[in-house]
């Protein structure tokens, strides 16, 4: 997506979803999808997911993707973020590189290298390092475990994934690099946030307009990685 193109606004027209034979929750989900202008626009542009707009909007605001940069995209399937990252760093043709990591199999967008595995496994981290072929400029994480519906449990799971992503970011980022990760509202847990702040010059929380208002997700955006700062107590990096 070009930076000049605008994200679709909310409030698209819906279409009727026949309820017959479907659970009420499925009908609600289908109705929401049918009404969602981001879903329609993602389909029109051939994006693998509507999530693509979240990364585009975060980058429009914070400008961490640029031609020639090396990006690791954690929790990449089905590939919306990788597609945006590949376009903006000019993966392949323009010298940029995008390594997409997910436990699920995915068809990587053009120019993207896919690593299938759990980021908590050492073998996955090694495969990422090999695919990167050098230090990363940006580590992204949109990782999410399947929702349990129990808010406290879901919060802890997303937080644990954010911690894993932060640990990997500390291993692979070049000085000055960026780390962008999904957390749940309430923001990043105090101790993790303090550790992130020690390693980055600026840290913000941002909820892009395409992130559904009823969703608790938000993103921590950390810029200016300090590779040489001494690891503090309990710092994985």
Which of 143, 203, 220, 222 touches ligand SAM (CB under 6 A)?
A: 143
Q: Report the C-alpha gap between 3 and 5 in whole angstroms.
A: 6
Facing residues of 183 across strands? 218
String marking each residue 51-90 x if it binds ligand SAM according to CB under 6 A: xx----------------------xxxxxxx---------
Which residue's CB is nearer to ligand SAM, number 29 or number 176?
A: 29
Which residue's CB is nearer to ligand SAM, number 137 or number 163?
A: 163
Is residue 70 within 8 A of residue 132, CB to CB? The reply is yes
CA 222 vs CA 135, 208, 214: distances in Å:
17, 15, 24
Is residue 117 within 8 A of residue 103, CB to CB? The reply is yes
The stretch among 4-12, 32-40, 143-151, 172-180 that binds ligand SAM (CB under 6 A) is 143-151
Verify binding: residue 93, ligand SAM, rule CB under 6 A: no
Specify burial of residue 12 (Cβ count, 10 A radius: 0-12, 13-18, 19+): middle
Which residue's CB is nearer to ligand SAM, number 81 or number 179?
A: 81
Q: Which spans of this chain sit near ligand SAM (rule: CB under 6 A)?
A: 48-49, 51-52, 75-81, 101-104, 118-120, 142-145, 161
Please identify every residue annotated as catalytic.
182
């Amino acid at each position: 997506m070009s930076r000049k193109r605008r994200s679709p606004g909310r409030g698209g027209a819906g279409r009727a979803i026949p309820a017959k034979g479907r659970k009420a929750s499925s009908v609600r989900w289908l109705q929401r999808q049918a009404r969602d202008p981001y879903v329609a626009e993602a389909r029109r542009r051939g994006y693998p997911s509507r999530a693509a707009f979240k990364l585009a909007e975060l980058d429009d605001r914070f400008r961490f993707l640029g031609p020639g940069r090396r990006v690791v995209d954690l929790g990449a399937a089905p590939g919306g973020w990788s597609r945006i990252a590949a376009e903006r760093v000019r993966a392949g043709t323009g010298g940029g590189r995008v390594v997409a990591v997910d436990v699920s199999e995915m068809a990587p967008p053009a120019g993207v290298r896919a690593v299938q595995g759990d980021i908590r496994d050492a073998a996955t981290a090694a495969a990422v390092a090999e695919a990167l072929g050098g230090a990363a400029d940006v580590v992204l994480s949109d990782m999410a475990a399947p929702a349990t519906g129990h808010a406290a449990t879901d919060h802890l799971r997303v937080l644990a994934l954010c911690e894993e992503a932060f640990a990997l970011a500390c291993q692979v980022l070049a000085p000055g690099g960026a780390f962008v990760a999904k957390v749940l509202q309430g923001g990043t847990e105090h101790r993790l946030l303090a550790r992130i702040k020690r390693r980055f010059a600026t840290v913000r929380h941002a909820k892009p307009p395409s992130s559904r208002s009823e969703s608790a997700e938000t993103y921590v955006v950390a810029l200016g990685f300090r590779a040489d700062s001494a690891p503090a107590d309990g710092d994985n990096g």
